[in-house]
Amino acid sequence: QVQLVESGGGLVQAGDSLRLSCAASGRTFTSGTMAWFRQAPGKAREFVATISGSGGTTYYADSVKGRFTISRNNARNTVYLQMNSLKLEDTAVYYCAAVFRPIFYSGRYDQNGAYDYWGQGTQVTVSS
């Protein structure tokens, strides 16, 4: 069973930076595609970013491109989301997700259903 534990959320002001972490256990980490999603109040959970097992391939939602960076440290079984220039609309619960089968070729990497494992989420609140 795969376990994902997010950390690093908090309350920040618009324009600030924050780094989220997701520690994974239970499977060979390097074989897993990892992703971040988020869910704002009253809205559906949406894709933020994803990264391949090797870290060589990444994709981002248009809304965060140029501001957020996803990365991973396979030696530490951890994936990160560096968030810069935070905006009010970035306020959400951020979830870490994982899948241990190829999904990039299908183009489904931005869909909730493409991922098999989820963390409990960490709250990010951006204030003005």
Neighbours of 52 (CB within 10 A): 18
- Model confidence at 29: pLDDT above 90: no
pLDDT digit string (tens) for 53-88?
999 999 999 999 999 999 999 999 999 999 999 999
* Secondary structure element (H or E) that encloses residue 7, with its range: strand 3-7
- Angle of CA points 59, 46, 92, to nearest 5°: 110
- Model confidence at 107: pLDDT above 90: no
